[in-house]
Amino acid sequence: MTWVVLIALVVLVLAVLLWLMRRRREGWEAVAAALMVGLAGYALQGQPAMPSAMKAPSNPAAGNGKALVEERQKLSGVDPTKNRWIVPGDALAMHGQYAEAATVLRGAVEADPKNGDAWLAIANALVSHAEGNISPAALYAFRQAQNADPKAPGPSFFLGLAMARAGRFDETRSLWADLVAKAPADAPWRDDIAMRLKRLDELMAMLRQRAQAEAAAPQGAPMATPMAAPMAAPQ
């Protein structure tokens, strides 16, 4: 039901803006792109079932850092309190101090280069510090995390998430599909990632429909939104 309301709202906003900007094609293309980016973020990370908070966090970066840390801990199944470096590193990341977190977490991998959870924490901190960009240092940390524990789902999941934020949906899909395909049937995280993969497929289908509609539309004509079809899909 949440998806129906969300898509209907996007369609309504887009239709109104396109009518107002019908003589300026370059303007409505930018608006449409912005709306699709927002929809992509919700599709991959939104949790409609989560009850609303009474007060939003004063530091948005800290809220995002907290979610990343908690998700990593859930996927890894590692008790972070057993490592004297990861505890303060996670605390810093939860408060949006990503550069400081990465610096502290280096102590964990210097003490144990095979600590995959610490490498993954460093990778996430570096991506967040770079505002979603995957730097060479972050990619190296992701690879080290994967090499330390090839069966761990965290490295592929979070690298895919970072790629999705950068608009690299095909690469995200490849990583997540491989992760789900190789996951044990009883893995506690399998269903959650499979659900996110389904959301990603729906988003990519909408983007393809939009691209086809743009290509078919006469120059200067208002764009017919491709998002109407998915509204009728079963929820």
pLDDT in tens, 134-147: 999 999 999 999 99
41 against 68, higher pLDDT? 68
At 168, the pLDDT band (50, 70, 90 cuts) reads very high
Fold for domain 60-197? 1.25.40
What integer pLDDT is reported at residue 178 of this predicted model? 96
| DSSP SS3 for 126 | helix
Q: Does the structure show a pLDDT above 80 at 10?
A: no
| DSSP SS3 for 42 | helix
Nearest partner of 163 among 136, 142, 198, 133, judged by Cα:
133
HSE at residue 211, side-chain half, CA atoms within 13 A, is: 6
Taking only the tens place, the pLDDT of each residue in 56-100 is 333 344 348 899 999 999 898 888 777 889 999 999 999 999 999
Across 190-221, b (16+ Cβ under 10 Å) vs e yields beebeebbebbeebbebbebbeeeeeeeeeee
What integer pLDDT is reported at residue 11 of this predicted model? 53
Number of separate helices (H) and strands (E) present in the chain: 10, 0
Domain parsing of the chain, residue ranges:
2-47+201-232, 60-197
**106 CB-contact burial (10 Å; exposed 0-12 / middle 13-18 / buried 19+):** middle
**81 CB-contact burial (10 Å; exposed 0-12 / middle 13-18 / buried 19+):** exposed
Q: Does the structure show a pLDDT above 70 at 221?
A: no
Q: pLDDT above 70 covers what percent of the chain?
A: 66
Contact status, residue 185 vs residue 169, Cβ threshold 8 Å: no
